Amino acid sequence: MQRKNVYINHEDCVIDVKDVSKSFGNLHVLKHVNLKLYNGENLVVLGRSGTGKSVLIKLISGLLKPDAGEINVLGSVVNHLNEKALRALRLRIGFSFQNSALYDSMTVRENLEFPLVRNKRNLTRSEINREVEEVLEGVGLSQTINQMPSELSGGQKKRIGIARTLILRPDIMLYDEPTAGLDPITCLDINSLINDVQDRYKTSSIIITHDLACAKMISDRVVMLLEGKFERQGTFDEIFSTDDPRVKPFYDYNFIV
């Protein structure tokens, strides 16, 4: 079932990728791409491995610079910002890494406290505790607060990684392969969590995934990256209502009848 989202504001564009290109040597990964993310939207980016999906979100977060074009995020042109302004903007962007990126030597509580204490130094201990407990409740893992990452399942690590990102209350969430390496049931749990995050925190999100079940469940809109360009975009069903030989095998592999 595809979700129905009542929060999208199509008059408020929070990310605007304009005529952006990126190459690595002779490998032309992105070729004059254009993309908009609207306030309150869950946008899924699909494509084969090596097509530039992860490069796109690294460009959006300023981890890479485009060779041409510009990227406007929350009113700022990312590739024109100095380091101080870029750090400030990144506090408004949550990046959920594929491997969860938890610190193995820290408890769940300490992992969640780390970005909070580092970026909001004026918080009291009671305020920190309240923030940690609230975000853990938000991802359904209050009971793990004193556990170590090694004691968590793969799905729990993904949830804690998302919680650590949410604790700074970002306006935008960037998810890189959120269901990679998880069993089908846990994938459904993570998909539900991504929708819950949007509902609860009113985030706007870009989700990079190969998982078409994930894409169908969480997307308001889907774009497909083919040969360095966004060749198709629309709802999930609109994307795959085609006999395009570059698209149909992608669907057939994921949904074998």
For 42-69, how does the pLDDT look when each residue is reduced to its tens digit (9 = 90+)? 999 998 777 788 899 999 999 999 999 9
For 19-42, how does the pLDDT look when each residue is reduced to its tens digit (9 = 90+)? 999 999 999 999 999 999 999 999
For residue 208, how many other CB atoms are within 10 A of its CB? 22
Q: What is the pLDDT of residue 255?
A: 56
* Domain ranges across the chain: 1-92+170-257, 101-169
For 131-145, how does the pLDDT look when each residue is reduced to its tens digit (9 = 90+)? 999 999 999 999 999
Q: How far apart are CA 78 and CA 76, in angstroms?
A: 6
Q: In 3-state terms, what secondary structure has residue 50?
A: coil
For 102-159, how does the pLDDT look when each residue is reduced to its tens digit (9 = 90+)? 999 999 999 999 999 988 878 999 999 999 999 999 999 999 999 999 999 999 999 9
Give the closest residue to 226 by CA, choosing from 46, 76, 16, 73: 46
Q: How far apart are CA 103 and CA 5, in angstroms?
A: 34
For 78-102, how does the pLDDT look when each residue is reduced to its tens digit (9 = 90+)? 999 999 999 999 999 998 877 778 9
Q: Kindly give the pairing relationship between strand 93-96 and strand 172-176.
A: parallel
Give the C-alpha distances (Å, rounded to integers) separating 38 from 7, 61, 82, 250: 10, 16, 25, 26
Q: How far apart are CA 215 and CA 217, in angstroms?
A: 6
For 162-215, how does the pLDDT look when each residue is reduced to its tens digit (9 = 90+)? 999 999 999 999 999 998 888 889 999 999 999 999 999 999 999 998 888 889
Residue 172 backbone dihedrals phi, psi, to 5 degrees: -125, 140
Category of 70 on φ-ψ map: left (φ > 0), alpha (ψ -120 to 50) or beta: beta
- Residue 113 CB partners (closer than 8 Å, separation 6+): 128, 132
Q: Which CATH architecture has domain 1-92+170-257?
A: 3-Layer(aba) Sandwich (3.40)
CB 233 within 8 A of CB 41: no
Read off the pTM.
0.89
